[in-house]
Amino acid sequence: MNSEEEFYDAETGLESDDSCEVSFKDACVYESKQTVNGKVPSENGVRERRTTLPVPMFSRNDFSVWGFLKKCIGMELSKITMPIVFNEPLSFLQRITEYMEHTYLIHKACTLSDSIERMQLVAAFAVSAVASQWDRTGKPFNPLLGETFELTRDEEGYHMISEQVSHHPPISAFYSESLNQDFSFHGSIYPKLKFWGKSVEAEPKGTMTLELSKHREAYTWTNPMCCVHNVILGKLWIEQYGTVEIVNHSTGDKCVLNFKPCGMFGKELHRVEGHIQDKSKKKHQVIYGKWTECVYSIEPKVYEVNKKAEKKSGEDSKKHKQEQSTVGDDADEMPDVQETVTMIPGSTLLWRVAPRPPHSTQMYNFTNFAMTLNELEPGTIGVIAPTDCRLRPDIRAMENGDIDTASQEKERLEEKQRVARRERAKDEEEWSTRWFQQGNNRYTGAADWIYKGGYFDRRYSDLPDIY
């Protein structure tokens, strides 16, 4: 197996609780397109998408994780080959497109005239982009160099293309845009992971850029840190933490979001808190909620009054928890999930996670959106690029429950990739990306991969044979 294969982190949305009720100011409550039994209803000729995988996931109970990982402590996992039992039947390029599950937030932001209100929705979109990570403890397949994925959602008004542009280091570039040219959302991702005995920590690399053409605005941010606990012993659970700064490069507005670490007693588990300020650093709105559930906004003065009252009432209960708390030596115990987000009167609900399908736990904890990503719809073959990961035989075999074939095909594809790399080295030939080129982000100046255009012209005759 390829010792240079990169390992991508398990990304993971807890079901929204009924306590996340609609706020006052109902004109400012933003909801996604409704579904029926997990499907977008067929209308105007739009085909319903699948709501399940062909077969349930296999059991990992008989596999010794420690036997494999004990040699990896302190190492960067991009240099280690991971057995297929760690995987879920999606490519990392498909996982990137899960950022787009809540695109309705961007569409809504495009219609608003106030920059602070637009920033609220951009902040909600940034939080929603990591919601699907909750309980997703399988890792996506590593994209082959030159692999692509196309996501077209006519009913949601956008399409997206991604490409694996580098193998060492592993870099995935993506570009999405609305079909009526209202927005574009793009970036390149280089996740850097390390194994620390009980946990795997992922440091996000790469910048997310959202452009709203009508308002001539551009927003940039990076994703929070992610940690997968108990990869050896105990129940796997996922934590997001760190500060995310969203900058509006046109107005100078900024949203500072703090994804809070769990803390000793679990009180902060999943919580997100931050504020929106203008270029003079005046605070306009406070953002609060959980990345697994919902996000609200409220005026800063109201929030501070509520916070003080909450702190005063919570001091006695904190002392009680300290007396009861025990810490396990063998596993990083996941704290009991605290009460769901309590809406402060006067708040506006910006976003709420969609419930997962009832059978999600038997389907790699996929969301309804994720369930559709590897579906080959009628008429797809011959239209999408031959490098599209929906055509990868190892992912397809795993989705169909044939783990032996999936493992064999995975090894075959890796060997084919190694042979191609050796041939290029022999001929002193550099790899040439097809849809993206190296450059700099025009707003931050940081290194980035820029979409060259042309994918949807459907001229694919010069693409590499990677499968």
| Residue 330 and residue 383 in contact, taking contact as beta carbons nearer than 8 Å | no
Over residues 394-401, the mean pLDDT reads 96
The pLDDT of residue 32 is above 60:
no
The pLDDT of residue 320 is above 70:
no
> Which CATH number is 60-457's, of 3.30.428.10, 3.40.1280.10, 2.40.160.120, 3.90.580.10?
2.40.160.120
- First vs last C-alpha separation in the chain: 16
Average pLDDT, the chain: 83
DSSP 101: G
Over the range 170-182, which residues count as b (16 or more CB within 10 Å of their CB) and which as e? bbbbbbbbbeeeb
The pLDDT of residue 195 is above 80:
no
| Residue 32 and residue 102 in contact, taking contact as beta carbons nearer than 8 Å | yes
* Residue closest to 368 by CA, chosen among 360, 377, 380: 360
CA distance 357 to 294: 18
Domain extents for the chain?
60-457
Q: What is the pTM of this model?
A: 0.83
The pLDDT of residue 269 is above 90:
no
Give 3-state DSSP helix, strand, coil % of the chain, rounded to 5.
25, 25, 50
pLDDT category at 222 given cuts 50, 70, 90 is very high
pLDDT category at 455 given cuts 50, 70, 90 is very high
Over residues 69-79, the mean pLDDT reads 57
Structure tokens at 362: 């038997």
Residue 364, pLDDT score: 94
Dihedral sign from CA coordinates of 145, 396, 187, 76: negative
Residue 36, pLDDT score: 39
User: CA-CA distances (angstroms) from residue 19 to 16, 271, 286, 343, 457?
Assistant: 8, 15, 20, 8, 47
User: CA-CA distances (angstroms) from residue 90 to 43, 61, 141, 407?
Assistant: 28, 21, 6, 14
Contacts of 306 (CB under 8 A, 6+ apart): 344
Q: What is the DSSP string of 145-158?
A: TT-EEEEEEGGGTE
Q: Which of 136-140, 197-201, 212-216, 269-273 has the highest mean pLDDT?
A: 212-216
Over residues 153-165, the mean pLDDT reads 96
pLDDT digits (tens, 9 = 90+) for 333-385: 666 655 588 899 999 999 999 999 999 999 999 999 999 999 998 889 999 99
For tokens 């599950």, name the residue. Answer: 101
The pLDDT of residue 38 is above 50:
no
Structure tokens at 149: 């994925």
| CA-angle at 81, arms to 427 and 228, nearest 5° | 135
pLDDT digits (tens, 9 = 90+) for 270-316: 899 999 999 999 999 999 999 999 999 999 999 999 888 877 766 65
| Residue 139 and residue 94 in contact, taking contact as beta carbons nearer than 8 Å | no
| Residue 384 and residue 62 in contact, taking contact as beta carbons nearer than 8 Å | no
pLDDT digits (tens, 9 = 90+) for 128-143: 999 998 888 888 999 9
CA distance 162 to 53: 23
The pLDDT of residue 7 is above 80:
no
Over residues 221-238, the mean pLDDT reads 77
